[in-house]
Amino acid sequence: METIDARLRPQDWPYERKDEPPNSPLLYVHLTMFSDGAVLAMSVPHVFADQGGLANIVKAWLAVIEGKTPPEMTGYKDDVLGGEKLSNVDVNQDGRIGRMRIRSKKDQALVIGRIALDLVKDRKEESRLVFLPIQVVQSLRDKARERLDGKHMLANEISNGDIITAIFTKLARINSESKYDISLSSTINDRIPQLQGEKGEGFVHNAVHYATANFAIKPSTELDDIALQNRRAVNKALEESDIKAGVNTLRELAKANQVMLICEPHHKLYSSSNWSGSWHGIDFTKAAPKSYDLSSHRKEMVVLGQSKTLKAPMRYRVVIMCRTSEGFWCDFAAPVETMALVDKFIRWDPSLGILLEEMESYGTSESRRAFKSNCGVPRSLSFSFMLQAKRGSRSEQ
């Protein structure tokens, strides 16, 4: 993403809010034209909008082009939550251990301290723009469902998102030699009850909820087990009472000025953000001139982006940026040594089937040492883009 950002985002755009000159615009837009395509770069402060909100802005533009009236901007004049003040909902913070919660100063110090030690140990990291073919993801999903069938009632609910989350949870610490506890979080988008239907279409600000699974993981933990843990957490987070408690906790975290890390002391953390659904249905041919031949072959839109401060570590999360008919585009990072091993792993088994079929063998120290030494020279994952490139904390697309 850094390579794409450097080539397609104008260099005079501010990357963070602190870099903004006086009276700078809220929204930056830049169009780069090619003979066979185009790139639309956008940048907006993350405090103003997330990817779902940015997509709603684009949808409103296209509605105007079609001669339609876009939905009224929700929350511009009135409180989004109306009369129901979710911040007044009683939430037992002790009952939210393992989820987003208000931590004690001791717990907060332990969580941040462990992350700081990790960053000191491995200061440098590398990022990859990873493309996962739809055939690979669906094959792993179907096999995971088969393996869980008869063992768990949620077997048939395992989704592509669960599988992708599980893949990167494994790859992020593929060089781990021991068992550890993990807090694995996923974003839940477009679920706030007050933001459904037309109100949701007119909402551009941040509106996420989080699902978190807490469990022990080791090198031999199979992909389907991780996917199941994520699915159970997501289903719990979809309950209306859980959404209300989550919104309440977010507000209280903001009031307490506490760092928003979903992790327990002595756990490792990882998270996935899936924004692929936000861009579904956007069609830029609505803006094409009448002379444009709509019957000709059209490339699919690819949405790529980031939302972080310039030096923020990226190794603790994966972002599923978009889905096309061919697969999923993901933003992934890891320490340098770990990424070298991931490169070897992908070269060794591009289908990723070993994450399901041979993990018991791979889970022994002897087999992992053999894997590390015998996989050959690492090969970088490919970088590619097609239509759109995203502002640090400003949110950039």
* Nearest Cα residue to 298 out of 319, 309, 284, 287: 284
Give the DSSP H/E element, type plus range, for residue 120. helix 105-121
Asked if residue 340 lies in contact with residue 363, where contact means CB atoms within 8 angstroms, the answer is no
Domain assignment present for 9: yes
Give the CA distances from residue 233 to residues 14, 19, 99, 258, 341, in Å, rounded to whole numbers and listed in that order. 37, 38, 10, 23, 29
Q: How confident is the model at residue 374 (pLDDT cuts 50, 70, 90)?
A: low
Q: Read off the tokens for 268.
A: 């490792």
pTM of the model: 0.88
Q: d(Cα 212, Cα 231) in Å, to the nearest integer?
A: 10
Q: Read off the tokens for 371.
A: 């894997």
Asked if residue 154 lies in contact with residue 231, where contact means CB atoms within 8 angstroms, the answer is yes
Whether residue 377 has pLDDT greater than 60: no
Asked if residue 179 lies in contact with residue 220, where contact means CB atoms within 8 angstroms, the answer is no
Crossing angle, helix 336-348 and helix 365-374, to 10 degrees?
Answer: 80
Mark residue 316 as left, alpha or beta (left: phi above 0; alpha: psi -120 to 50; beta: remaining). alpha
Domain assignment present for 273: yes
Asked if residue 332 lies in contact with residue 171, where contact means CB atoms within 8 angstroms, the answer is yes
Domain assignment present for 54: yes
The number of folded domains in the chain is 1
Q: d(Cα 33, Cα 96) in Å, to the nearest integer?
A: 49
* Nearest Cα residue to 200 out of 329, 55, 45: 55
Residue type, 125: E
Q: How confident is the model at residue 299 (pLDDT cuts 50, 70, 90)?
A: confident
Domain assignment present for 87: no
Q: Tell me the mean pLDDT in the region 61-70.
A: 94
Asked if residue 32 lies in contact with residue 41, where contact means CB atoms within 8 angstroms, the answer is yes
Domain assignment present for 88: no
Beta bridge partner(s), residue 181: 216
pLDDT of residue 96: 87
How big is the CA angle at 228 (ends 330 and 102), to the nearest 5 degrees? Answer: 80
pLDDT of residue 295: 79
Q: How confident is the model at residue 391 (pLDDT cuts 50, 70, 90)?
A: very low
Q: For the chain, give the mean pLDDT.
A: 86
Q: Tell me, what CATH number does 240's domain have?
A: 3.30.559.10
Which residue in this structure is represented by tokens 């996420």?
208
Whether residue 226 has pLDDT greater than 50: yes
Domain assignment present for 169: yes
How big is the CA angle at 278 (ends 275 and 283), to the nearest 5 degrees? Answer: 130
Q: d(Cα 393, Cα 206) in Å, to the nearest integer?
A: 13
pLDDT of residue 396: 60
Domain assignment present for 51: yes
| Highest mean predicted confidence (pLDDT) among 100-104, 332-336, 345-349 | 332-336
List of E strands, the chain:
28-34, 37-44, 125-133, 180-189, 208-217, 268-274, 317-323, 327-335, 395-396
pLDDT of residue 147: 94
**Lowest-pLDDT range of 5-9, 25-29, 89-93, 218-222:** 89-93
Domain assignment present for 136: yes
How big is the CA angle at 75 (ends 64 and 197), to the nearest 5 degrees? Answer: 65
pLDDT of residue 30: 93
pLDDT tens digits, one per residue of 238-297 = 999 999 889 888 888 888 888 888 999 999 999 999 999 888 888 888 888 888 887 777
Residue 33's domain comprises 2-76+93-396
Q: Tell me the mean pLDDT in the region 36-51.
A: 90
